[in-house]
């Protein structure tokens, strides 16, 4: 049976354990967009998918004749086609500032996590990326404040990038700071875990990550200082 033919509704081809796929599921939930989901093995992409997505990257969104396979472009398309609630600021200056932060997150957070999630990458390369992500996370602590969402009183595209990565840290054995300076970060993580569009975005495969995230929350609530390392060998 063809994966692409006779599709009358939007479909997301996804890696159930990938942070970029979870980002799109979070956007779909936040906007209440009806979408079918097809889970694929990122190491064994069917040839008909490669015809419309030569890179083989996931997620891939198919909406009638449109094929989009860069998660950032998918988010922008969904935000423009379904404008409520908006995930990008309306005003040009604020939108440019958000895109600047997205650019930083892409380089400092997303790309290291891509390597960590990639099964074909060597353990040495994974460890380098874990150390880089841990360093970048610590360097980003000042960006978190006491607002309900990331530097905002409403959910934005930034939250859909940040939270799927934070959700994976303990699972991959990456240290999450628990110092006083990290208090806004940890409170943010705890709030976002209960947020509906985030909880809705957790796939069946990702439910395994919940226990690692819960362990971090419990330990953080009992400690006021010193780094916490809840790790597991992957």
pTM (two decimals): 0.87
How does the average pLDDT of the chain come out, rounded? 87
- Report the alpha-carbon distance of residue 213 to residue 184 in Å, rounded: 16
Confidence of residue 1 (pLDDT cuts 50, 70, 90): very low
What are the residue boundaries of the structural domains of the chain, listed by start? 11-81
* Alpha helices by DSSP H, the chain: 19-31, 47-52, 71-81, 92-105, 111-117, 123-139, 157-166, 183-193, 196-201, 207-222
- Report pLDDT digits (tens) over 127-179: 999 999 999 999 999 989 889 999 999 999 999 999 999 999 999 999 887 78
What is the reported pLDDT for 6?
A: 61
Residue 54 pLDDT > 80 = yes
Give me the mean pLDDT over the 190-199 stretch: 93
What is the reported pLDDT for 81?
A: 95
For the domain 11-81, what is the CATH superfamily, name and number?
Answer: Glutaredoxin (3.40.30.10)
Closest by alpha carbon to 16, among 47, 37, 43, 44?
37
- Report pLDDT digits (tens) over 70-87: 999 999 999 999 999 999
């Amino acid at each position: 049976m063809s994966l692409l033919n006779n599709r009358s509704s939007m479909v997301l081809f996804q890696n159930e354990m990938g942070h970029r796929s979870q980002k799109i599921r979070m956007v779909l939930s936040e906007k209440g967009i009806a979408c079918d989901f097809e889970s694929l093995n990122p190491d064994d992409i069917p040839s008909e998918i490669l015809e419309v997505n030569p890179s083989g990257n996931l997620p891939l969104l198919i909406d009638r004749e449109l094929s989009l396979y860069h998660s950032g472009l998918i988010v922008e398309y969904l935000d423009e086609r379904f404008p409520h609630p908006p995930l990008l600021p309306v005003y040009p200056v604020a939108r440019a500032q958000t895109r600047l932060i997205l650019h930083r997150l892409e380089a400092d957070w997303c790309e290291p996590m891509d390597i960590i999630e990639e099964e074909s990458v060597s353990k040495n390369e994974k460890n380098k990326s874990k150390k880089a992500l841990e360093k970048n996370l610590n360097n980003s602590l000042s960006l978190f404040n006491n607002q309900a969402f990331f530097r905002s009183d409403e959910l934005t595209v930034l939250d859909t990038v940040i939270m799927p990565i934070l959700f994976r840290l303990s699972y991959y054995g990456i240290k999450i700071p628990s110092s006083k300076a990290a208090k806004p970060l940890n409170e943010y993580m705890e709030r976002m875990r209960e947020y509906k569009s985030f909880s809705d975005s957790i796939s069946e495969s990702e439910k395994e990550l919940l226990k690692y995230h819960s362990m971090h929350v419990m330990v953080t609530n009992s400690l006021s200082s010193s780094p916490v390392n809840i790790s597991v060998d992957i």
